[in-house]
Structure 1
Amino acid sequence: MTTSAYQATFEELGTPLREVTFVVVDLETTGTRASEGGITEIGAVKVRGGEKLGEFQSLVNPGQPVPAFVARLTGITTAMVATAPGIEKVLPSFLEFAHGSVLVAHNAPFDVGFLRAACEKLGYPWPGFPVVDTVPLARKVVTRDEAPNHKLSTLARIFRAEVTPDHRALSDARATVDVLHALFGRLGPLGITHLEDLRTAADPVPKEVRAKRHLADGLPEAPGVYLFRGPGDEVLYVGTSTNLHKRVRSYFTAAEKRRRMTEMVRIAERVTPVVCATPLEAQVRELRLIAEHEPRYNRRSKYPERAVWVRLTDEPYPRLSVVRDTTSGLAHIGPFGGSNAAKEAVAALHDTLPLRQCTARIARVPRTPGSPCALAGMGRCSAPCVATVPDVVYDDVAGAARAALDGDPALVVETLSARIARLAAQERFEEAGEVTRRLRSFVHGARRAQRFAPLARCAELVAARPAGVAGAPGERGGWEFVVVRHGRLAGTSLSGPGEDALAAVAAVRATAEVVEPAPPPAPSSYPEETDLLLAWLDQPGVRLVAVDGELTCPVRGAAAHADLARAADRVRAELPGA
């Protein structure tokens, strides 16, 4: 059985610098390229908390002559290394010496490059040491006014190192230790006190941003929601994470590239954590808090009340209408994120069926016939306004529209797909792209309504999945339970390995939120929350424990055409001028 090397991330280490074991290493070589040259000497010093724990030094036979200019620079000659052990004997001893440590070197890519090349040549897996390079750290805190360059000899002189570097491996490693400790002394006031800070220490993070690292202190390493608050305790930003401490801490490093977030951090005064039992609960709470506070620095999910539906009106001669609220008993699709998408879906239906588009109220049997509009003349409206008897033709048109909205949208999909093909064949690509957008919007809205409606009708749905890391069943043991009532998350909990799952289900049901139904097909929550719940329920391993209602979708519903709509959208994107 083989095992692959694992390289720990800085975030995973999360250790104060005083608790980190560093191995400061320096190599002498026969050249500057690891692929061509060989190692002639390895020197290393192991330190922790400012104390020296050990040293390592060995000459190495590089298997090739030492060039004259290298011999003059280092004092290491071919004769000196002729009887030295080869790298195949020295490297295992060094790797054992450095095991579990963080490698430090001055111009680390050079030294680490030779070490990695040696491992590869000998067939050893690279241990994946975290690496710290003192050159960029020095550039951060040693200005050009203080030093003309950032060579090791220059820094050793500025920081009054006890050992003068002389191009011998152990002497240079000892000098680098003194330089490293001096750099830590200068980086500390900048808020760089933990190992993970060193990764971004050389990046241009504003001092006022880095100085607010303390806002992450004390935050739990647990899933939940975090709220950045301003001077007046107003909520500036809401986010979610599986590890609150690590996520909030990242805002004060160069890992955060968004300018508006840097601006937000400058204003923030404190961070409020909301620990959640499960990641799903954290995601839902984030949506609700964003909707409640409308933070100025959040862009997503700020205005869920702007979601709209497309409805067939309740009139003798129904028409399509874009509305914000649903009405029981009427055909709807949606919700859509905005009115533009809803209008595209309406246009898709108008392209398919001659529904009337006027807003006038028309009696079932008008006293006097009206005047047909231009759309009627073009055959795009059934013109019930001119009927002197009940218009049964329009009844068929309205019935087909209702079927497309509530059930099978095949008529709309097939009609528009054929039109897209004709337009593309005629090289009318802009028009083909417009029709494609309409088709996509219609199918998306119909599919969403057909998925929302069953969940909204369920008075209670209880589901469970094996608890695990990142949704992988069984890795942690126990179960994750979710209670959904009328499309809203009413409760969630975790049970540990060996616990009575049925008792946990009874407990979460008893403590779940009481939820009143909304007019179907709308759920009793914001649309994005219902999307999250449906995505959770769709995951592998999820099991339905109890359902109070009927959880079904049409067999020939919009979901059957979702792939077709996505394919049409890809075609539209590839059209010339798209």
Structure 2
Amino acid sequence: MNTPNLPSSTASSASSVSKEGSTAPLSSGIINGISRRFRGFLPVVVDVETAGFNAETDALLEIAAVPIHMDASGIVYPGDTVSAHVKPFPGANLEAAALAFTGIDPHHPLRIAEDEGPALKKIFEPIRNVLKGSKCSRAILVGHNPAFDLAFLKAAVARTGVKHNPFHQFSTFDTATLGGLAYGQTVLARAIAAAGIEWDSSAAHSAVYDTEKTAELFCAIVNRWKELGGSPV
């Protein structure tokens, strides 16, 4: 979640990005080394947009995910985006301030939202496909202040009973922490600017846009660390 308040040419390698809300599958690609790089975990960048801060009571409205791939030379890059608009679950709280902040109208007729269960399956299935091809045992959620995103993800899984959640239950990679280490910046927009990545503030607070930009930032930091000789792969 992008809360309010190392230039590298490999920061945003070409990736085939699906349209927001699409069902396009993620490409498994050639990512054999990524399992060794992250101790058997597949980094998957996730962002959620919500109607508040309480994962148990407030609605999950958007979710997007981007798996991280690795090429033969050990450079990481964002994979394809998968995303879903989500209908508020029955009885969900909708905080007016949160909706004003994100600009999301949960009841807009053109929103094409789906229930939490089908939305989670749309996100999880392609991630599991990438896991199979990567020799990774589990996905690890990458996010900006990812405890927020993971909490909403886990709450939705608990509500729906969806099986085979690919994500580790508590471990995450935090780009706020990594951005502070690499660039001295913990705010997403500022860390991205420090990394030399393009940022459009008018597009922010869309799950797809924030996820894709966070993925670029994560890759920029990991690849820069490799350039400096710190990567084991």
2:66 maps to 45
How many correspondences in the alignment?
177
- Displacement of 1:66 in angstroms is 3.7
- Displacement of 1:190 in angstroms is 6.2
1:260 maps to none
Task: Give, in whole Å, the separation in 1 of the partners of 2:94 and 2:103.
Answer: 10
1:164 maps to 200
Q: Superposition pairs for residues 211-250 of structure 1, below 5 Å?
A: none
Post-superposition CA distance 1:401-427 (Å, at most 9, x none): xxxxxxxxxxxxxxxxxxxxxxxxxxx
- Displacement of 1:77 in angstroms is 1.0
Is residue 116 of structure 1 aligned with residue 154 of structure 2? yes
2:178 maps to 137
Is residue 31 of structure 1 aligned with residue 52 of structure 2? yes
Q: Superposition pairs for residues 46-445 of structure 1, below 5 Å?
A: 46-49=67-70, 50-63=76-89, 64=92, 66-80=94-108, 84-99=113-128, 100=131, 101-124=139-162, 126-129=165-168, 131-143=172-184, 147=185, 150-164=186-200, 166-188=204-226, 192-194=230-232
Q: 1:160 to 1:20 in 2, by over 3 A?
A: farther
Task: Give, in whole Å, the separation in 2 of the partners of 1:118 and 1:192.
Answer: 37
Task: Give, in whole Å, the separation in 1 of the partners of 2:80 and 2:141.
Answer: 14
Q: Which amino acid aligns with 1:164?
A: D
Select the structure with the greater relative contact order (CA < 8 A; seq sep ≥ 6). Answer: 2
Post-superposition CA distance 1:420-464 (Å, at most 9, x none): xxxxxxxxxxxxxxxxxxxxxxxxxxxxxxxxxxxxxxxxxxxxx
- Displacement of 1:191 in angstroms is 5.3
TM-score, with length taken from structure 2: 0.65
Secondary structure of 2:64 counterpart: strand
Contact 1:163/1:174 (8 A) holds in 2: no
Secondary structure of 1:72 counterpart: helix
Secondary structure of 1:47 counterpart: strand
Secondary structure of 1:109 counterpart: helix
Q: Which amino acid aligns with 1:89?
A: P
Q: Superposition pairs for residues 523-542 of structure 1, below 5 Å?
A: none
1:352 maps to none
- Displacement of 1:194 in angstroms is 4.5
1:232 maps to none
The structure with the greater share of residues assigned to helix is 1
Q: Which amino acid aligns with 1:16?
A: R
Post-superposition CA distance 1:60-102 (Å, at most 9, x none): 1113464322222111113237751111110111111222243
Secondary structure of 2:36 counterpart: coil
Post-superposition CA distance 1:489-511 (Å, at most 9, x none): xxxxxxxxxxxxxxxxxxxxxxx
TM-score, with length taken from structure 1: 0.28
Q: 1:80 to 1:191 in 2, by over 3 A?
A: farther
User: Which consecutive residues of structure 1, in runs of 5 or more, have no partner in the other structure?
Assistant: 1-12, 196-578
Task: Give, in whole Å, the separation in 2 of the partners of 1:194 and 1:116.
Answer: 31
2:21 maps to none
Task: Give, in whole Å, the separation in 1 of the partners of 2:108 and 2:196.
Answer: 31
Task: Give, in whole Å, the separation in 1 of the partners of 2:41 and 2:167.
Answer: 16
Task: Give, in whole Å, the separation in 2 of the partners of 1:59 and 1:15.
Answer: 34
Contact 1:163/1:171 (8 A) holds in 2: no
Contact 1:104/1:134 (8 A) holds in 2: yes
Task: Give, in whole Å, the separation in 1 of the partners of 2:152 and 2:49.
Answer: 10
Q: Which amino acid aligns with 1:48?
A: H
Contact 1:30/1:70 (8 A) holds in 2: yes
Task: Give, in whole Å, the separation in 2 of the partners of 1:83 and 1:67.
Answer: 21
- Displacement of 1:20 in angstroms is 7.0
Post-superposition CA distance 1:461-493 (Å, at most 9, x none): xxxxxxxxxxxxxxxxxxxxxxxxxxxxxxxxx
Q: 1:103 to 1:162 in 2, by over 3 A?
A: same
2:30 maps to none
Task: Give, in whole Å, the separation in 1 of the partners of 2:146 and 2:232.
Answer: 19
User: Which consecutive residues of structure 2, in runs of 5 or more, have no partner in the other structure?
Assistant: 1-33, 71-75, 132-138
Post-superposition CA distance 1:125-173 (Å, at most 9, x none): 5434363221222222223xxx4xx111111121122343511100001
Task: Give, in whole Å, the separation in 2 of the partners of 1:110 and 1:187.
Answer: 26
Post-superposition CA distance 1:523-570 (Å, at most 9, x none): xxxxxxxxxxxxxxxxxxxxxxxxxxxxxxxxxxxxxxxxxxxxxxxx
Secondary structure of 2:220 counterpart: helix
Task: Give, in whole Å, the separation in 1 of the partners of 2:100 and 2:162.
Answer: 33
Q: 1:190 to 1:139 in 2, by over 3 A?
A: farther
Q: 1:163 to 1:97 in 2, by over 3 A?
A: farther
Q: Which amino acid aligns with 2:191?
A: L
How much identity, in percent, do the aligned residues show? 26
